[in-house]
Amino acid sequence: MNITIRKIGNSEGVIIPKEMLDRFGLKAGDSMELRAENGGFYMQPVEEDISEELEAARYFMEKYKVALKKLAE
């Protein structure tokens, strides 16, 4: 797939076709890692760090363990 480098403000950028974004489940605002490799570019989505969210969920589940157990019945 060919794309064109375009002027975006004081920088240059590329537009990623919607087909490719959909294929990888990406949308505006998502982060990508870009690196030079084997004479070309390599891009991949950045995995989000959800450790804080998981810790909050664990705290909530422990705090409301009895209520959650009752709700599950």
Segments of the chain assigned E as strands: 5-8, 11-14, 32-37, 40-45
Burial of 26 (0-12, 13-18, 19+ CB in 10 A): middle
Q: In the prediction, which pLDDT does 30 show?
A: 87
- Output the domain CATH number for residue 30: 2.10.260.10
pLDDT tens profile 12-48: 999 999 999 999 889 998 889 999 999 999 998 887 7
Number of domains into which the chain is organized: 1
Q: In the prediction, which pLDDT does 48 show?
A: 73
Q: Which of 25, 27, 30, 22 is nearest to 46 (CA)?
A: 30
Distance CA 12, CA 6 (A): 5
Domain containing 14 equals 5-72
Q: In the prediction, which pLDDT does 50 show?
A: 77
